[in-house]
Chains A and B, each alone.
Chain A
Amino acid sequence: MQNKITVNDLNAWFGAKQVLHDIDIGIEKNAITAIIGPSGCGKSTFIRCLNRMHEVVPGAKVSGKVLVDEMDIYDSDIDPVDIRRSIGMVFQKPNPFPTMSIRDNVVAGLRLNGVKDKNVLDKTAEESLRKAALWEEVKNDLHKSGMSLSGGQQQRLCIARALAVEPEVILFDEPCSALDPISTSKIEDLMLELKEKYTLIIVTHNMQQAARVSDRTAFFLYGKLIEFGETDQIFKKPEEKSTEDYIIGRFG
């Protein structure tokens, strides 16, 4: 399989503290890659480096190469804003824009980047909400506040919002950690559908979730990539002792 993202020798810092050490990894296209590891191991930082959100934090630094389709996103003439349009992100806590309606939330990315045509916006809103499996639940309430939805619906709204700008890759940063099991399973089903068209990366604390949805799994520990391979292999026959310890719950 072809790699969508290739990471070479990636290091990241918060101030003087190094949080990622020499990461080399290839992210397969149209597949789900899970990132697992204990808290503070650099999982979130890693995926935030993939859409240049890491540098938003004051004092944060990155070195190394992140190639998306052969293009280095850290090249000096690349605008991070463009990168973020093609690599979307869904956060741990659902974060719809509180002052906007459901529809406006979905098309916020388009509208604020200059799309004004109401028909285009309405069409995109519907398509994105359908893709996020939320349309049937909200089609009569599009003008209501995004905050009026339940937590699980809000998270799917955030997924719809990310889909509306037509990214190629979507990063999920523990998308289900604030959700109940039913909402979680809806999001997981959704991810399995989305991988037909998109490349997905999910950070998760929930090992069953990684096993259920992902094709490949990467295990991070203390800012280093310890092991990376087919999800089946990682969960059934991990090569590293620490991967095994983490998976069977000996720590973390």
Chain B
Amino acid sequence: MKWNKRKLTDRIMSGMSAACVIIAIIPLVSILYTVTINGISAINLDFLTQLPRPVGEPGGGLGNAIQGTFIVVGIACFIGLPIGILSGVYLSEYGNNRFGRFVSFVADILTGTPSIVAGMFAYTFVVLYFKSFSAFAGGVALSVLMIPIVTRTTEESLKLVPGSIKEASLALGIPKWKTTLYIVINTGKSGIITGALLAIARISGETAPLLFTSFGNMFWANGLDKPISTMPVQIYTYAITPFPDWHTKAWAGALVLIVLILVLNIGVRFVTRRKYAM
């Protein structure tokens, strides 16, 4: 083989791409490594199932925060997924007009909104209205973050469904709404699910919007209208204290949160894996 300029360029560019990939995953690996090393020692059954204990008292855990995160994220999904997915369907299938393009543009802007703004929104409209911090307010704050992400990913994945598939359906005498519901959404559903997962993963770790909406609680959840503990807020609370024991618990909490999101991702992928090999 002759060593010429074209091959050299090819080598250099491939090498640079590979180097960039390595640089990109260094922080990721480093985070996983640090969190695991610092947190793994504190993880045991008690940590996952017990309530937090006061400073100096050994043991205790984040059970209520895990429960609370599920509740608050659940509320956010309950509000955010239907609105987000249906908006995405509208934008992709019916939104080829000024209004549609405007909404799409706004959703793009909202995706980049600092999350604390979503918290302020929920604080203003839910917390002040009900005059109480609550799980519901936290859920609303997170759903505000979630909706634009879900909307845009749904829109994009439905736009990837080939027009020929829609035409095939219409030409069979299948009405437009059934075509959208059963053919288009079905064909684009893996993209929709990916978008929903991305959104859930994103909001599960949000701290700022929860600080002044769901607030925090040292006990088990006792109603959606009451303050509730969540993992990110609990981790934050632990991390800013001067106590080494609580620092370890914060690391462990972070590890649990990462693993939860990972399991969620893998689980949903498994359930929705392609029915047919292509």
**Chain A residues with a Cβ under 8 A of chain B:** 51, 53, 56, 58, 81-86, 88-89, 91, 93, 95-99, 101, 108-109, 112-113, 144-145, 147-148, 158, 161-162, 165
Contacts and interface: CB of A to CB of B under 8 A. Distances in A.
Nearest to A145: B276
B187 interface: yes
A72 to B, nearest CB: 18
- Among B96, B165, B170, the one with the most A-chain Cβ atoms within 10 Å of its Cβ is B170
Contacts of A147: 276, 278
B276 A112 contact: no
A81 B171 CA distance: 8
B168 interface: yes
A110 B265 CA distance: 36
Nearest to B181: A112
Contacts of B175: 81
B173 A82 contact: yes
Contacts of A51: 171
Main secondary structure of the interface of B (DSSP, over half): helix
A108 B164 contact: no
B172 interface: yes
Contact of A95 (B162, B179, B186): B162
B172 A95 contact: no
Contacts, number: 80
Nearest to B168: A95
Contacts of B275: 99, 145
Contacts of B173: 81-86, 109, 113, 165
A97 B168 contact: yes
B96 A108 contact: no
B194 interface: no
B79 interface: no
B164 A95 contact: yes
A108 B186 contact: no
B266 to A, nearest CB: 22
B186 A99 contact: yes
Contacts of A99: 186-187, 189, 275-276
B226 to A, nearest CB: 44
B174 interface: yes
